[in-house]
Structure 1
Amino acid sequence: MWLVFLNCLPTRDRLSRWSTNTSPTCCLCGAGNETRDHLFLVCHVSASIWEHVMHRLGYQWHGFTSWNAFTDWLCTKDNVTPSTLKLLAAHTTVYNIWAERNKRLHDGAVTSPAGTFEMDFSRVQ
């Protein structure tokens, strides 16, 4: 998770700057450049996963607009969800979005956002 917060993951946008043979296009949606903010927050596939997560946590959710908005949400204490559960859900979701991205990129395997969410939270009941 530290690599995500530091924006040091080898996203396709970063890899394309290092190599001319890599397309910067998002592996999940194919609609934008795969930056950290796009991949984990803005991409319609990730946004759909977050929608499931936020609904399960009890939030009315309209999307994160930036990494700063996401971290602000993580740090905000509220009466909806305990802080520890919020952090655990965020870490799990980010990890599984990255895993889904890697499955699509390296194995050609595709899981729906609902399927990714179910894999994330199937044990948390």
Structure 2
Amino acid sequence: MWQRLPTRDKLAGWGLNLPTNCLLCGTGSETSDHLFFSCNYSTEVWTSFFSQSSLSRPSVFPDVVDWVRTVTSSKKVKVIIKLIFQACIYFLWRERNSRLHSAMLKPSHVIQREIQLQIRARLLGLDWESYKALATRSASQSSYLTLWFEMFQPRKA
């Protein structure tokens, strides 16, 4: 959020002689906005989580931050969106670093799967905490995982 990641455009601005192309797609200049939101690779990752819901995320960083805060009034959906946001940023940065330091490339569908597993594990923990806190669960109250599968889990083609 503070735009302090050492992306290639910043490193070049500090006087380092290195290419500024994006390590994920190879076409654009590696800025934070491009790397996380405009790059074809990252767009594939993001799109997979919002393709079946009526929600569509903005494509520039400052707008995404505001959108995450105000997209819905549902507390549980907002938690899921924040987890998607955090996980996508983390896994995309990790993939970028992996490509930089070890030249190991993962296709975007592998990153999507890793994010899905991470989020589902966290949502299961949140549901378990809610279950323990409530002696009886209302039938009308959806669990985090139910909302995840209804709104965000990519369906098999």
Q: Which TM-score applies when normalising by structure 1?
A: 0.85
- In structure 1, the gaps of 5 or more residues are none
1:51 is matched with 47
Corresponding position: 1:86 with 2:81: yes
- Amino acid paired to 1:82: V
- Amino acid paired to 1:75: R
Structure 1 distance, partners of 2:30, 2:58, is 16
Corresponding position: 1:41 with 2:37: yes
Pairs aligned (count): 119
Structure 1 distance, partners of 2:58, 2:91, is 17
Instruction: Give 2:16's match in structure 1, choosing from 5, 20, 24.
Output: 20
Structure 2 distance, partners of 1:103, 1:59, is 33
2:109 is matched with 114
User: CA contact under 8 A between 1:49 and 1:114: conserved in structure 2?
Assistant: yes
Superposition deviation, residue 15 in structure 1? 0.6
Structure 1 distance, partners of 2:33, 2:72, is 24
Structure 1 distance, partners of 2:60, 2:107, is 23
1:66 is matched with 60
Superposition deviation, residue 64 in structure 1? 2.9
Superposition deviation, residue 23 in structure 1? 1.2
What is the RMSD of the two structures over their aligned residues, measured on CA atoms?
1.9
Q: Give the structure with higher Rg (CA).
A: 2
- Amino acid paired to 1:76: T
1:100 is matched with 95
- Amino acid paired to 1:69: D
Superposition deviation, residue 88 in structure 1? 1.1
User: CA contact under 8 A between 1:42 and 1:64: conserved in structure 2?
Assistant: no
Q: Which secondary structure does the structure 2 equivalent of 1:122 belong to? A: helix
Which stretch of structure 1 is more off in the superposition, 75-84 or 102-111?
A: 75-84
- Amino acid paired to 2:49: V
Q: Which secondary structure does the structure 1 equivalent of 2:51 belong to? A: helix
Once the two structures are superposed, residues 44-95 of structure 1 have per-residue CA deviations (whole angstroms, 9 ceiling, x without a partner) of 0000000112236x2453x633112211220114267621111111101100
Structure 2 distance, partners of 1:77, 1:28, is 28
Identity %: 29
Corresponding position: 1:10 with 2:33: no
